[in-house]
Amino acid sequence: MTERRIDDQLVIYGRTFTSRLLLGTSRYESPSLLENAIRAADPAMLTVSLRRQVAGFSPDSGQSFWNLLRETQRTILPNTAGCLSPHEAIKTACMARELFQTNLIKLEVIGDEVSLQPDPFGLVEAANQLVRLGFQVLPYCTEDWILCRRLMDVGCQVLMPWAAPIGTGQGPRNARALRELRERASNIPLIVDAGIGLPSHACQVMEWGFDGVLLNTAVSRADDPVRMAGAFASAIKAGHSAFVAGPMVVQETAVPSTPEIGRPFATDYSTPLATAN
């Protein structure tokens, strides 16, 4: 049985968080929707990125976006989204460190532009170099145990396996492998990142003992992102509480909830029914 961590705080590279939700900041209809969603989600961290400045006013980039981020007073987690090689990812991480003044980096090295599946080889190489450069790496990875072990070997203290491809909202595609990963990697924080679509998906992985959930599109593209942000926050709390509480063991056959002893009008069904004459 997975060891049950009963503390109510998420610890990431020595930083403690009361929330177990990490929220992406992309694809909101307006800055005010993002701001209100952040308030409703009460996330531990906000993921951000960096891009060339576009001409004209852009609500989700540049100075206005920067000011919004600062006002939330949340921990910022920059990503290396879109990087297709370790070199690109390392360069992007270095720029992000200077821009956001943090050693934290959500490491993405994409191996396939259709599925946006991580490149396991490039991911380990990039993580290895980034750890040596003093980064605190949160790698976006798959649930593959060997990959996860390699990432831990090079110094990653958190892993972020996907539930399903980015932006699909399909929920956990490979439940058995995710649960096995949780069992094997019992001493490292595991945050399910990508592919979560519903609060029930988030609740489920938390019930399995995962330490947190990172999501973006499931909130930002909901009809009501603010309400959905609150729904996810509640689901993640519920799932974690259920894990800590320890679910009952599933039974093969029915077990009466109400005591049998002393039941009035008791009939003994273990003996054959009397034949009517």
Residues that bind another protein (CB under 8 A): 24-28, 34, 47-53, 58, 60-63, 65-66, 69, 78-79, 81, 91, 94-96, 98-100, 166-167, 216-217
**Are 4 and 209 spatial neighbours (Cβ–Cβ below 8 Å)?**
yes
**Annotated catalytic residue: which of 97, 106, 182, 240?**
106
- What is the smallest separation between the CB atom of 195 and another protein, expressed in angstroms? 11
| Residue closer to another protein (CB basis): 15 or 51 | 51
Burial label, 262 (beta-carbon count in 10 A; 0-12, 13-18, 19+): exposed
CB of 11 to another protein, least distance (A): 23
Q: Which amino acid is at 129?
A: Q
Residue number, 108 or 211, with CB nearest to another protein: 108
Whose Cβ is closer to another protein: residue 48's or residue 185's? Answer: 48
Does the active-site annotation cover 106? yes
The smaller minimum CB distance to another protein, of residues 19 and 49, is found at 49
List Cβ<8 Å contacts ≥24 apart for 52-60.
Answer: 59/30, 59/31, 60/25, 60/26, 60/28, 60/31, 60/34
Strand intervals (E) in 132-255? 136-141, 160-161, 191-193, 212-215
Distance between CA atoms of residues 155 and 158, nearest Å: 9
- Closest separation in Å from C-beta 70 to another protein: 10
**C-alpha Rg value of the chain to the nearest Å:** 23
Among candidate residues 115, 117, 125, 60, the one with its CA nearest the CA of residue 89: 125
Q: Where do we find the tokens 């909202």?
A: 169
Query: Shortest approach of another protein to residue 166 CB, angstroms?
Result: 7
CA distance linking residue 139 with residue 157, whole number of Å: 9
- 185 or 218: CB nearest another protein: 218
Spatial distance between the Cα atoms of 155 and 266, rounded to a whole number of angstroms: 64
Minimum CB–partner distance for residue 42 and another protein (Å): 18
Token pair 């206005």: residue: 64
**Residue numbers annotated as active site:** 106
